[in-house]
Amino acid sequence: MNKDELKGRFDQVKGEAKEQWGKTTEDRSTETEGKLDQAKGKLKEGLGEVKDKLSR
């Protein structure tokens, strides 16, 4: 696992927490930010996996 994969997973967890907080407080903008953070995290993780495979 490389740095990009780790950052991606962290962003996904952070996004999930933010989304749940937005649902709890009924704050649509926070909920949307959480979903965006999750999407960015998935992209970063995927990029990290590709980089890892290319380096092998």
**Global pTM value:** 0.86
Q: Which strand (E) or helix (H) includes residue 27?
A: none
- pLDDT tens, 18-27? 999 999 999 9
In the predicted model, what is the mean pLDDT of residues 28-45? 96
Q: Which strand (E) or helix (H) includes residue 26?
A: none
Radius of gyration of the chain (CA): 13
Distance CA 24, CA 13 (A): 17
**No. of H helices and E strands in the chain?**
2, 0
| Cα torsion angle, 39, 18, 16, 27, sign | negative
